Structure 1
């Protein structure tokens, strides 16, 4: 039997978050690779008028870019695992529902991811703006995107740094938005009491045991 509509919607959102996480990590890694492993966020640039080329004078610690990439990869791995688990349960055959304790755990995970995605988005936004302001000021360009068509000091040629950073930032904020929707859906499910109640005699307090699976299949009718 298929997953309930609420869990199916979450599955789609988790799959979308997985894609966003992969896009963010890939785009930022490519940009970092184009600059020889240097993290250009919060970087400073100078312009050589003789050769009409841009020079990356200052850059942030590579760990700053690694932090954003690791956050995105962790989100992607979690979403991929959850998606696979739910797809597996939907293929087993029985209807599945989620217990209250796992809804609470999901909210905690969502809160952690929302915090780190917010930090990552701010780092990408402010770091890119700082770099672009330096480029526009030193090279007298109208926009940062024009610097992609300029020559950079060897071994760099024409790097697509602006497009890469913009794609990474956009993916982070889209990911953040999807997680807000997931949080709202879990809260609604919890308030509506869609969790699977324990069978009589299972638990005296009426709450599922902590040893129950995240999603439990309903028993087949006799």
Structure 2
């Protein structure tokens, strides 16, 4: 029984990690969106009343929904599919060492490159959106940091109802870090895919040369 394909093992582990990162981005952003009474606080605006109540005005919902749906559909479901695909191939590689050389590579390199770019955009949205929102908060005389503004009662400027913002800064800090880790992992996945592409092409070239040599020298 042959050893597992180490290159395939590395790609499987990376897909597992991007899957986990998907949860650590989509869940905190989704919870924060829910805590903010359905409003997106990334790039959000607010006004501060004299009684220390913050009146929140949502930014475009796309700012939050993009990161949520991208990580659910891309980092979770897409990674889960490829994790299962690679795990099956990894299992088969124990009995057939050529499995890794027979797998599709180029389509996944292109898809992973697109995912990398989109995760980069999502990371920038979460990071810059949170920073701009916190910058607005710290300009007031009531809060010196976003941490101080957590778990406070704010007013929805659209409905006039009170809501508790919860631990929004801690949640989005987790999402921000996980998003950048995910971005680095997708870069690594693209690099592994490119390496596999050239490795497989070299393998097929060697196999073709051996076949030609066997045809020329059938007794060899």
| Between structures 1 and 2, the one with greater strand share | 1
TM-score range, shorter-chain basis? 0.7 to 0.9
Secondary structure (helix, strand or coil) at the match of 2:144 reads: coil
Report the TM-score, using the length of structure 1 for normalisation. Answer: 0.79
Match of 1:166 among 147, 169, 173: 173
* Equivalence for 2:212: none
Residue matched to 1:208: none
Q: Which residue of 1 aligns with 2:41?
A: 40
Question: Match of 2:198?
Answer: 191
Distance (Å, rounded) in 1 between the aligned partners of 2:185 and 2:90? 22
Which structure 2 residues correspond to residues 1-222 of structure 1 after superposition, within 5 A?
3-50=4-51, 52-56=52-56, 58-75=57-74, 76-92=76-92, 93-95=95-97, 96-99=99-102, 102-153=104-155, 154-193=161-200, 197=204
Q: CA-atom RMSD, angstroms?
A: 2.3
2: distance between equivalents of 1:105 and 1:72? 20
User: Would you identify which runs of 4 or more consecutive aligned residues in structure 1 move more than 6 Å?
Assistant: none
Q: Tell me the alpha carbon deviations over residues 70-91 of structure 1, each in whole angstroms, 9 at most, x when there is no partner.
A: 1111221111011112223334
CA distance in 1, matches of 2:3, 2:83: 14
Greater shift in the superposed pair: 89-98 or 31-40: 89-98
Residues matched between the structures, number: 197
From the two aligned structures, give the one with the greater helix fraction: 2
Larger Rg: 2
TM-score normalised by structure 2 residue count: 0.80
